[in-house]
Amino acid sequence: MDKFLIKGPCKIKGQVFISGSKNAALPILASTLLFDKPVIIQNLPQVKDVDTMLSLLKSLGSKIQFLKNKKVVKIYKTKEQKYFASYSLVKTMRAGILVLGPLVAKFQKSITSLPGGCTIGARPVNYHLNALKKLGMKYEIKKGYIHASSNGKLKGTKIKFSKISVGATENSIIAACLANGKTILENCAIEPEIKDLVNFLKSAGANIKWIRKRTCQIIGINSLNKTTYSIMGDRIETGTFCVAATLTKGNLKIKNFNPRLIQTEINLLKKVGAKIQTGKNEIRIKGPQKIKNISKLVTKEYPNFPTDLQAQFMVLLCKATGRSRIIENIFENRFMHVAELRRLGAKIIVKDNKATIEGKTDFLGAEIMSSDLRASVALVLAAIVAKGETKINRIYHLDRGYENIEDKLKKLGVNIKRLS
């Protein structure tokens, strides 16, 4: 199993190009099951979760053709359509559940495994199932599989999500594209990745519009047209590199990302002392000599502070001049990185969903272990500013969501190598 060896402290400087968004690519790829005609998707990130989704589509009968060193993929139908999404493919990522909606919408049947992914919390699939049931899907769960079907096409209806859910919003939007009549979805998640999915579907002729901030209207159509679409840049990768520059007194130019999509994070980084200039699809960021603390940082649904950057900001606040507090409102197991950060010298106390971080930490290198995707990258950030050598085990989590992270970091001045 691969591990990283990082010798610190290092300073981040130079220029980095942001890869395509994993969290936008996965629902867009799942939605290609709705199409009869070929689809070309550009700016595809080369990460493990995307490979898994492409393997899942292949197992369902899609033909996958790579162009331009795997950054572009052409997906089209074969005659061998299948409806079984196996546990062996779905077990490593939550997004596997996103094939359920399109399979039932297009073919009126599906057997989909209950999903896997990071062990950061319950993330129940009942929001997906309840919404799809309202559209006309019948289902039962047997031996870890959702056996789903519908009598003819799904039927448009009004759905109000009891809790804001990114995945359930995506699954419902995809399924409603081919349903009969009008679907209104209320209390939707409005992450940029969802807007990217909507833009992709609209580029193929889907009739979707936002009628209020969290309300989406979809009028079903018979079929989607062929389309070519470029996936947005990765918001969490961008935020991670912004934190890295701030943490290391660095000087970084970030290309290929629209800064307007992370306004909350940019404002927080300015608050801790970073100097930031934004342009069209680029961010210039300089880290401060002294990092200021944040008395209270709360994770909430977009456009608020994202749970996927909580671990990275925690590392930043370990180096702040005073005490900070993070309240995690999205996932109940999202502090799994804390024990490993303590091994490097962090002073963090966790009680329920609150973490209190004492600042002025002098990180010292040690051997540590990743527990999930975002925790892994937080440990990398801590190792970059730690004195001495840090060995990070189980970095396969990182490969699920960050494209060529060690190559990008090396070019920015980090002493990092992968040990197989």
**Active site amino acids:** 118
Q: How far is CA 152 from CA 174, 396, 410, in A?
A: 17, 42, 54
Q: How far is the C-alpha of 155 from the C-alpha of 151, rounded, in Å?
A: 10
Q: How far is the C-alpha of 310 from the C-alpha of 316, rounded, in Å?
A: 10
Helix, strand, coil shares of the chain, percent, nearest 5, are 35, 30, 35
Q: How far is CA 77 from CA 62, 172, 211, 329, in A?
A: 5, 22, 33, 41
Q: Taking the CB of residue 62, how many other CB atoms lie within 10 A of it?
A: 21
- At 216 the three-state DSSP class reads strand
Burial of 284 by CB count in 10 Å (0-12 exposed, 13-18 middle, 19+ buried)?
middle
Burial of 36 by CB count in 10 Å (0-12 exposed, 13-18 middle, 19+ buried)?
exposed
* 415 Cβ neighbours under 8 A, 6+ residues apart: 6, 7, 8, 10
Give the DSSP letter string of 42-94: ES----HHHHHHHHHHHHTTEEEEEETTTTEEEEEE-S----EE-HHHHTT-G
Q: Where are the beta strands (DSSP E) in 287-387?
A: 297-298, 324-327, 347-351, 354-358, 367-369
Angle value at C-alpha 49, between 232 and 254, nearest 5 degrees: 35
Q: How far is the C-alpha of 375 from the C-alpha of 146, rounded, in Å?
A: 30
Rg (CA), the chain: 22
The pairing of strands 227-230 and 39-42 is: parallel
Give CA torsion, residues 20, 24, 30, 32, to 10 deg: -70
Per-residue tokens: 189: 């998640």
- At 134 the three-state DSSP class reads helix
